[in-house]
A and B are shown apart, each in its own frame.
Chain A
């Protein structure tokens, strides 16, 4: 009874740890326009999201607008990039994600735009500056819905005008982007909290192994399986020894060396030291 009680308390403690540190946040799939502040009405979000989704799929380039309460702890120069990475933006798989983002921190009246992946070829600093200028006009007049729509439609025009096509770039230093992800205190806190249940599980398992090891020290009996120490000196005598060669097999593996050319249709690879392009700087409105 006492043992059962102890086991039940342990199980309850582990379950409590899991509940305490259950995952905090998940991001909805196919979200192109996200408003965490409630500035846009639900209908506006729905309409603008449909517009952004249509353009994104047609152009094969994700077009995003994300309105956050604050800058999530990012510096102004890293804000848009951090939001892009942490909201899993981009058309295509993670390594080949391509997209452009307008990030607005409402409480700080700050916004900036950035582009990632293949979209970087279209949305260079100049175009991003133009997008920022366009957005500024709307935001400074309090027209949030207009700002978002104008940004999305201008992105569509820029993509068409620049002859954009989707491809998977090769990065020489993807760690730069990883660094951006981890520089946000807010994101770091969330990632940390998400990791804690797994840490608790592993701690419990390792602890269980350690405790069983401690228990095993209470028993040191064991059946002997060999008699090595009772071998007579020079007691091993080989009377017959024969090594017969049977056959030889040969396996040839051809090494395919990458010539470095070719790749995506319609164009060659582009090499980037990092995935992002940036505007000259975000703006306060």
Chain B
């Protein structure tokens, strides 16, 4: 890639270019021109003769890599003194509030981020994410009204969350105890014959792309809840996709995160191997030896819209899958509304029960 590309200036007017999820192209904020990366690349390549020979193409054969000096020059690093998040963004994207803890005193930090191998570009824009969040608030009768009113929904931030995508082969050696029951009548006797079996199964189960977020600030239950991401749309990382968004640097390495993915793979392996034991009345696993025999992790940025809001002194975080729109979050419950609904439902049920019992003939006592 030509080094000027990371500036993302419009070839037509020189205005800043941002990645547009709807068109999957770079869009000029001023003249609204649209460019593919190739077009921008070509434009600068023609303009910059020396840079064309510089050969800064990246080869990503390992899970992480280093940023080029050019990329580093046009990226900015920030850190949150409150939660410790290490954020990066392109130079045109201002980071003023921490997307994790809502802290407004984000400060410039040292650029130490690792370069991801893949990126999954945002497909949903901010308006769509806000609409999803608004819908999420609906049908929640116990949600305090003041929470919705004081929720700064416009501050929703597009964040590329760092993920490890684990590929692996699990090897399983399992033993089951199984029974097959046959019952028949012989004269006045009911005969029950139970055949007992020992079942042995050995095999392998292969997984691809089991995700585990690599940010200690991001609650695991949030990222698990907004799965799945469609990996068919994964791209080799390019800073083009960063335009207008921020990213979090990973602070949990692939070895530390591995246990999460392995736990999930192990459970599915047990389920899959168990499913091969058929034709018995009951099957009970009595021994399972499941281990990872071949694994690799790829580092990727996955798109998430984040909204962190504070209410009654407590932080509430919402995350929207920037690709599928799946949303997750924890909302407060209004204790008064809870009790009110409980009493109303109790009263309604009690009246209904009273009427039903009366017409049943006086109750059950």
Contacts and interface: CB of A to CB of B under 8 A. Distances in A.
Interface stretch (B92-100, B204-212, B249-257): B204-212
A250 B354 contact: no
Contacts of A29: none
Given A6-B336, A243-B197, A246-B196, A222 B365 contact: no
A12 to B, nearest CB: 11
A91 B178 CA distance: 54
Interface stretch (A39-47, A125-133, A223-231, A259-267): A223-231
Given A222-B221, A236-B205, A241-B201, A199 B192 contact: no
B357 A199 contact: yes
Interface residues of B, number: 76
Given A207-B345, A241-B200, A227 B339 contact: no
Contacts of A198: 364-365
B267 interface: yes
A218 interface: yes
B205 A235 contact: yes
Contacts of A219: 329-331
A195 B338 contact: no
Nearest to B195: A248
A199 B350 contact: yes
A230 B358 CA distance: 56
Contacts of B178: 243
Contacts of B186: 252
A246 B175 CA distance: 14
Given A3-B335, A192-B358, A221-B225, A235 B206 contact: yes
Chain B binding surface, main DSSP class: mixed
A237 B203 contact: yes
A252 B191 contact: yes
Contacts of B155: none
A200 B195 CA distance: 50
Given A182-B361, A235-B205, A251-B194, 19 more contacts: A17-B350, A192-B354, A195-B363, A198-B365, A207-B342, A207-B346, A218-B333, A226-B264, A232-B206, A232-B207, A235-B208, A236-B205, A236-B206, A240-B201, A240-B203, A243-B178, A243-B197, A246-B196, A254-B189
Given A195-B363, A223-B224, A241-B200, A236 B272 contact: yes
A215 B333 contact: yes
Contact of B198 (A6, A244, A253, A254): A244
Interface stretch (B31-39, B60-68, B126-134, B140-148): B140-148
B357 A240 contact: no
B357 A222 contact: no
B48 interface: no
Interface in A182-200: 182, 187-196, 198-200
A227 B342 contact: no
Given A228-B268, A228-B271, A254-B188, A244 B220 contact: no
Interface in A75-134: none
Nearest to A183: B361
A221 B202 CA distance: 35
Contacts of B271: 226, 228
B107 to A, nearest CB: 29
A255 B365 contact: no
A230 B335 contact: no
A202 B209 CA distance: 48
B228 interface: yes
B10 interface: no
Nearest to A255: B188
Nearest to B139: A217
A232 B338 CA distance: 45
A13 B192 CA distance: 55
B189 A247 contact: no
A217 B207 CA distance: 32
B199 A242 contact: yes
Nearest to A189: B362
B274 to A, nearest CB: 11
Interface string B323-365: 0000111111101101101110111011001100110011111
B349 A203 contact: yes
Given A232-B208, A236-B205, A203 B346 contact: yes
B202 A238 contact: yes
A210 interface: yes
A103 B346 CA distance: 42
A191 B361 CA distance: 8
A207 B201 contact: no
Contacts of B343: 10, 13, 207
Contacts of B329: 219-221
A15 interface: no
B338 A215 contact: yes
A255 to B, nearest CB: 5
A162 interface: no
A196 to B, nearest CB: 6
Query: Chain B CB within 10 Å — which of A204, A236, A253 has the most?
Result: A236
B220 A187 contact: no
Given A204-B346, A227-B210, A236-B272, A250 B192 contact: yes
Nearest to B271: A226
Contacts of B267: 225-227
B264 A220 contact: no
Contacts of A176: none
